[in-house]
Structure 1
Amino acid sequence: MDGIVNTVAVSLGTTDSAIRLLASLFLGFPLGFVYRTVIHAKPSHIQHFYFTFFGLAISYFNFGWELLHPLINIFSIWLLLSVAGGTVLSVGVAFMFNTGYLILGYLQNTEAIYNISWTLAQCVLTLRLTGVVMDVYDGKKGEEKLTAEQKESALAKSPSLLELLGHTYCFCGFLVGPQYSMKRYMSFTQGAFTDSWREGLPHSVGPATIRLFLGILYIAVFQIINIVLPTEYMLTTNFDDLSLFSKCAYILFWGKNAINKYIGCWMVAEASCILIGLSYNGKDINGNVLWDGCTNMKLYQYETCTDLHHLIDSFNHNTNKWMARYVFKRLRFLGNKQLSQIMTLFYLAVWHGVHSGYYMNFFLEFLVSNSLAEFIKFSHKVRILRNINDSTTLMPLVWLVKKITITFSLSYALVSFVLLSSDYYMKVYRSVYYIGHLFHLVMPVVCLLLSMLLSKPSSVNGVNTNRVDKKTS
């Protein structure tokens, strides 16, 4: 098996660990088909065992005996829930223990270049186990104290060890996500999610196959374009010799393509979630079955949106929902939305790893978010900008400018996310004169100064005015 994996990796110009990961994600489809046709109607404990057995097998295939790390983590959380489930103490201990175990794993794997290791699956596990403990805590509160969102995932009792193993090792989501709550998983294994098929192939096969095809397409596009726009080129003297415009164009297209490998992997995993029925989400008003319960990529929204918040909502959707539900909204007691956002982004950086590149990436994302928000507020005050934005004639041009701006901004931030080491990503940023940093640092200041200038009292024929002239602004 090692020889086969190595041969495929060399022929595709990638690493053994990447091939193992891709093979594992694709394996979810045949395993999902067996589950859907044979195991689906069996008692819950058989389903938990099925997911646990094949999840452990895939884990061993990818990480060898390092699979013991997540098992230790799972068993520790099960003990915590058995002893103190539903208490504030359990939430604090789980949050610190899960995150701390993950950080220790990162410190064990501190290569300058990212390498797939057991911490990849541990990332997903950290959020999943922390979410379970917090859901048990919510379940002890009483429904009148819960928000509508918390009611969707609150657990009335702590899960058994087998249930916890099945939930965390379900092969369609334990490697790269998506995140889904224990309550959804339990409802699914108890038969609550079904499209009532009786004969022939399950109704989930069609939507799952489409998602799988799209995932393969995005992975293939990434691999092809990566040959033309490799990451390493940005560290060469040839890149340094390019004009500023050419460097920025390279970063723009490189970053857009770099995201494709993540999109592809998420959609392949999501295809398995759809196939087994875990993504079943009822029916729309027209009676069409919805398979978006575990959506991690809102693909059309991602490719067409020009608003940062819409982009964030479409990308790694379920992980962002987890961060919003279990971190951002739980920091409401701080009384400052921006501070809650900063702390959530900081936790996201910690969750990704110890390399400085992650922290630079999320710092830049915060700058971009704040900068674009300030510009939008300012543009609403200026009639000419409102007219340009609302013009149907200029709509294609406005869309293109917005799309290029947001894509470049996030591609610029992604440089540090991918290169990880400050020696590498700062070299790239220096070569473009920190244009992304400066633009999003200066933009809010410029908007503020212009707003003050427009609202400054003026004198007309000896009469002071203290308003912005809506007809001329």
Structure 2
Amino acid sequence: MANVTEPGFVHFLAQNIGATDDALRFLLSVFAGYPLAFIHRLFLHGRPPTVQHIYFILSGLLLFYFNFGTDLIHAVINVILIHLLIIFSGGTTFSVAAAFIFNTSYLVIGYYLNSSYDYVITWTTPHCVLTLRLTAVVLDVYDGRKKEEKLSSEQKETVLHKSPSILELLGQTFFFGAFLAGPQFSMRRYLSFTQGAFTDPQTKAAPASVMPGLTRLLLGVFYVFLYQVVSIFLTENFLYSDEFTKLGFITRCALILIVGRIFLCRYIGIWLITEGSCILTGITYNGKDVNGNNLWDGCTNIKLYQLEMASTFRDIIASFNHNTNMWMSRYIFKRLRFLGNKVLSQGVTLFYLALWHGLHSGYYMCFMLEFVMVNAEAKIVQIVQKSPVILKITSIPSVKSVLWVVNKLIVTFSLSYALVSFITLDFRIYLKIYSSVYFIAHAAYLSVIVLNIFIQPVLSSQGQQSSDHHVVDGKKNGKDL
């Protein structure tokens, strides 16, 4: 491993602010996206695509070397090999299978060689972003060989009818605003951006995206600051301390909720900051809203308002890590329709998502819990929709308000509960924490799924009887049914 760890300014600064060298380098590199974006706006906007590709490649490689030293060779090798795959077999089923197997295997081997239960940033951190990006390019080239009528609306947005050049592939890979922590964006979007498709055809000026970009920066800094401040007083380490086990049950649950929620702030903050630098360049342009205002949400990884107001797992999934979830839906879940089972497709997708994160059992426990919680929520919704009495009660405004608060509390705790295994990774640690609260979420959500097996037939029977009753009444009253 060739990470840059020698003593210097970064090491000195990291010691004085209580951070690790690798974390500080990563954060400085994320912030570096802003001056790099302004340079692009001032000097490279509207220039030939080749010039822009070279700029993105050189700036990205420098940031990569600043963080990981000569380990940047892994990214370069992966890109070159995928480019050769596209040249010799692009558009074939073999190329799709080979890309999935090779890209994922390269990443997994990297995880194995750099395995640690401590949170350490290594070359595998940006490589997980690269894995999805390169796999998507191969699939988009594959879609480009299909007939237009066989493409879905999503596929038409990303399809590549022409294989990208090595310069285009490297430019997208090392784009400074997204190669470290995302967001994901398609090669089609990148090429449109460098070819000037997002530029005002009349003014040819740099995009009016400075304020939207800086707004995301400020929001990101706020969430990172919030995470840092709370972490001074409460960290995940406290959850498996002797002091934690001595606390009351409600207090233990409350602390799990707080730790999980604050842990998310770290990811939210970084994603907002990276998105801001992308907005500054203009690559996130997404058309105009109904009022004619420019939309800059084409690379949004966090739908902040929706996330903070979410009271269901469905809303959280739709708003958190949005682009990665969209990638998983577009390139895995929806392409597993041949399995003929939506739940099975969902399970395979979540397994790949866990594998993409790493080899530790904590990732698999976390996404297994997500799978169970999402499906349990779906069962509850089905039960409510089949019960006229419950629907009537829950439609009362005052009841709806109370239910929102209750649902928000339950969903926030449940998400934090699942994140316990994601944060700690070691099964000996997260099982200890789960046992301290009697595996409450495991038991609750699994019980919902089991009970649903017995409840659904009863509700279906009641629904049929109600339907028959209305038919008889309709005939008696002479109504046209």
Using the size of structure 1 for normalisation, the TM-score is 0.94
Residue segments in structure 2 that go unaligned for 5+ positions in a row? 1-5, 471-481
How far did residue 254 of structure 1 move? 1.2
Cα distance in 2 for partners of 1:122, 1:201 equals 31
> Contact (CA 8 Å) 1:59, 1:67: kept in 2 or not?
yes
Is 2:81 the counterpart of 1:76? yes
Is 2:390 the counterpart of 1:394? no
Q: Which of 51, 54, 69 lines up with 2:56 in the alignment?
A: 51
2:44 is matched with which residue?
39
Q: 1:196 to 1:229 in 2, by over 3 A?
A: farther
Cα distance in 2 for partners of 1:256, 1:421 equals 20
1:313 is matched with which residue?
318
Q: Which of 342, 361, 364 lines up with 2:366 in the alignment?
A: 361
Q: Which amino acid aligns with 2:110?
A: G
Q: 1:387 to 1:195 in 2, by over 3 A?
A: farther
Cα distance in 1 for partners of 2:131, 2:455 equals 45
Work out the number of aligned pairs and report it.
Answer: 464
Q: Which amino acid aligns with 2:329?
A: A
How far did residue 3 of structure 1 move? 2.6
Cα distance in 2 for partners of 1:281, 1:253 equals 35
Q: Which of 348, 361, 375 lines up with 2:353 in the alignment?
A: 348
For 1:67-216, what aligned pairs fall within 5 Å after superposition?
A: 67-195=72-200, 198=203, 202-216=207-221
Structure 1's consecutive aligned runs of 4 or more residues displaced over 6 angstroms after TM superposition are: 468-471
1:286 is matched with which residue?
291
Alignment deviations for residues 428-460 of structure 1 (CA, whole Å, 9 cap, x no partner): 111111111111100122344344456678xxx
> Contact (CA 8 Å) 1:455, 1:468: kept in 2 or not?
no
Q: Which amino acid aligns with 2:115?
A: T
Cα distance in 1 for partners of 2:452, 2:35 equals 55
Q: 1:332 to 1:300 in 2, by over 3 A?
A: same
Cα distance in 1 for partners of 2:391, 2:230 equals 37
Alignment deviations for residues 178-219 of structure 1 (CA, whole Å, 9 cap, x no partner): 000001100100000124685997511010010110010110
2:445 is matched with which residue?
440
> Contact (CA 8 Å) 1:128, 1:181: kept in 2 or not?
yes
Identity %: 50
Alignment deviations for residues 353-395 of structure 1 (CA, whole Å, 9 cap, x no partner): 0000000000000010111111111122334432342221123
Q: Which amino acid aligns with 1:39?
A: L
1:66 is matched with which residue?
71
> Contact (CA 8 Å) 1:113, 1:420: kept in 2 or not?
no
How far did residue 307 of structure 1 move? 2.1
Cα distance in 1 for partners of 2:453, 2:132 equals 39
How far did residue 421 of structure 1 move? 0.9
Cα distance in 2 for partners of 1:192, 1:93 equals 32
Q: Which amino acid aligns with 2:285?
A: Y
- Which range moved further: 227-236 or 119-128? 227-236
Is 2:381 the counterpart of 1:380? no
Q: Which amino acid aligns with 2:333?
A: F
Q: Which amino acid aligns with 1:365?
A: E
Cα distance in 2 for partners of 1:248, 1:410 equals 12
Cα distance in 2 for partners of 1:381, 1:276 equals 49
> Contact (CA 8 Å) 2:216, 2:273: kept in 1 or not?
yes
How far did residue 467 of structure 1 move? 5.2
Is 2:245 the counterpart of 1:248? no
> Contact (CA 8 Å) 2:365, 2:421: kept in 1 or not?
yes
1:462 is matched with which residue?
none
Q: RMSD in angstroms over aligned alpha carbons?
A: 2.0
1:405 is matched with which residue?
410
How far did residue 423 of structure 1 move? 1.3
Q: Which of 1, 18, 27 lines up with 1:13 in the alignment?
A: 18
Cα distance in 1 for partners of 2:45, 2:371 equals 44
